Amino acid sequence: MAAHAAKAFLLLGRINGNNLGSRKPLNMVTYATALSATSSTSNKAFPDRGNRGAFVRRPRREAGEPRTEKMAVDQDWTAVYPVAAAFRPGSVPLPLRMGYPVKGGVPPEKKGNLELIKVPNFLHLTPAAIRKHCEALKPFCTEWPSTLDTVEKCNKHFPVKVESTDYVSAGPSLRNPAARIVHLKVKLSCLNLDDHARKKMLKLVGDRYCKDTDILTIRTDSCPLRKQNYDYAMYLLTVLYHESWKIETWEAEKTLADMEEYSWEGSPSQKNLLDTLVRMRTAGEGEGEVAREELLGCPEVQAYRESVTRLKNEGDSESTMLQYRDAVKKVLNL
Amino acid sequence: MMSTRRICSVARMLVGIPQLGQTGLSACRNRMACRTIGSHLPTSSLHTTAVLTSIPSTITVTDEPDMLFPKISVLVKGHDRAVLDSYEFFATMAAKELGITLGKVFEPPKDIERLTLLKSIHIFKKHRVQYEMRTHYRMFELFNLTGCTAQVYFEYIQRNLPEGVAMEVTKTAMEKIPEHILEPMWKDQSADNKPRAQEQS
Give the single-character DSSP code of A332. T
**Percentage of chain A surpassing pLDDT 70?**
80
Lowest mean pLDDT among A2-6, A142-146, B160-164: A2-6
Interface of A with B in 77-136 (CB under 8 A): 78, 82-84, 119-120, 122, 124-125, 127, 129-136
pLDDT tens readout for residues A198-212: 889 998 998 999 989
pLDDT score of A324: 85
**Reported confidence tier of residue A288, pLDDT bands at 50, 70, 90:** low
Chain A positions in Cβ-Cβ contact with residue B164 (cut-off 8 Å): 120, 170
Answer for the pair B92, B102: CB distance below 8 angstroms, yes or no.
yes
pLDDT(B21) > 90: no
Flag if A137 and B144 touch (Cβ within 8 Å): no
pLDDT(B8) > 50: no
pLDDT tens readout for residues B116-138: 999 999 999 999 999 999 999 99
Optimal mutation site among A121, A134, A229, interface B, most CBs of chain B within 10 A: A134
pLDDT score of A61: 86
Lowest mean pLDDT among A16-30, B149-163, B172-186: A16-30
Lowest mean pLDDT among A167-176, A255-264, B27-36, B125-134: B27-36
pLDDT(B13) > 80: no
Cα(A243)–Cα(B116) distance, integer angstroms: 56
Average pLDDT of the residues of chain B: 74
Nearest-CA distance from B82 to chain A in Å?
10
**Reported confidence tier of residue A50, pLDDT bands at 50, 70, 90:** low
Our separate counts of H helices and E strands in chain A read: 12, 4
Lowest mean pLDDT among A7-16, A217-226, A259-268, A297-306: A7-16
Paired residues of A217 in beta bridges: A185
Q: Which is more confident, B194 or A69?
A: A69
Lowest mean pLDDT among A37-46, A266-275, B102-111: A37-46
pLDDT score of A287: 57
Answer for the pair A307, A324: CB distance below 8 angstroms, yes or no.
yes
Lowest mean pLDDT among A142-156, A245-259, B99-113, B151-165: A245-259
Cα(A309)–Cα(B14) distance, integer angstroms: 77
pLDDT score of B54: 52
Q: What is the mean pLDDT of residues A95-123?
A: 91
Average pLDDT of the residues of chain A: 80
Q: What is the ipTM of this complex?
A: 0.71
pLDDT score of A281: 76
pLDDT(B96) > 50: yes
pLDDT(A19) > 80: no
Using DSSP's 3-state secondary structure scheme, residue A297 falls into helix
pLDDT score of A65: 86
Using DSSP's 3-state secondary structure scheme, residue A217 falls into strand
Radius of gyration of the CA atoms of chain B, in A: 26
| Continuous segment of H or E residues that includes residue B70 | strand B68-78
Q: Which is more confident, B56 or B101?
A: B101
pLDDT tens readout for residues A174-191: 899 999 999 999 998 888
pLDDT score of A330: 82
pLDDT(B2) > 70: no
pLDDT score of A48: 52
Question: At residue A288, what are phi and psi to the nearest 5 degrees?
Answer: -80, -165
pLDDT(B194) > 50: no
pLDDT score of A292: 65
**Reported confidence tier of residue B64, pLDDT bands at 50, 70, 90:** confident
Interface of A with B in 145-164 (CB under 8 A): 145, 148, 151, 154, 157-164
pLDDT(B179) > 90: no
pLDDT(A10) > 70: no
pLDDT(A265) > 80: no
Of A231, A235, A238, A229, the residue nearest A201 (C-alpha)? A238
Q: What is the mean pLDDT of residues A310-334?
A: 84
pLDDT score of B197: 41
Length of chain A: 334
Answer for the pair B169, A172: CB distance below 8 angstroms, yes or no.
no
Chain B positions in Cβ-Cβ contact with residue A248 (cut-off 8 Å): 197, 201
Q: Which is more confident, A234 or B62?
A: A234
**Percentage of chain A surpassing pLDDT 90?**
34
pLDDT score of A4: 47
Q: What is the mean pLDDT of residues A89-117?
A: 91
Q: Where are the alpha helices (DSSP H) in B69-163?
A: 81-97, 147-159
Chain A positions in Cβ-Cβ contact with residue B194 (cut-off 8 Å): 247, 249
pLDDT score of B189: 60
Answer for the pair A240, B180: CB distance below 8 angstroms, yes or no.
no
Length of chain B: 201
Nearest-CA distance from B120 to chain A in Å?
28
Flag if B160 and A84 touch (Cβ within 8 Å): yes
Q: What is the mean pLDDT of residues A92-109?
A: 91
pLDDT(B149) > 90: yes
Flag if B149 and A142 touch (Cβ within 8 Å): yes
Flag if B182 and A192 touch (Cβ within 8 Å): yes
Q: How much is the pTM?
A: 0.70
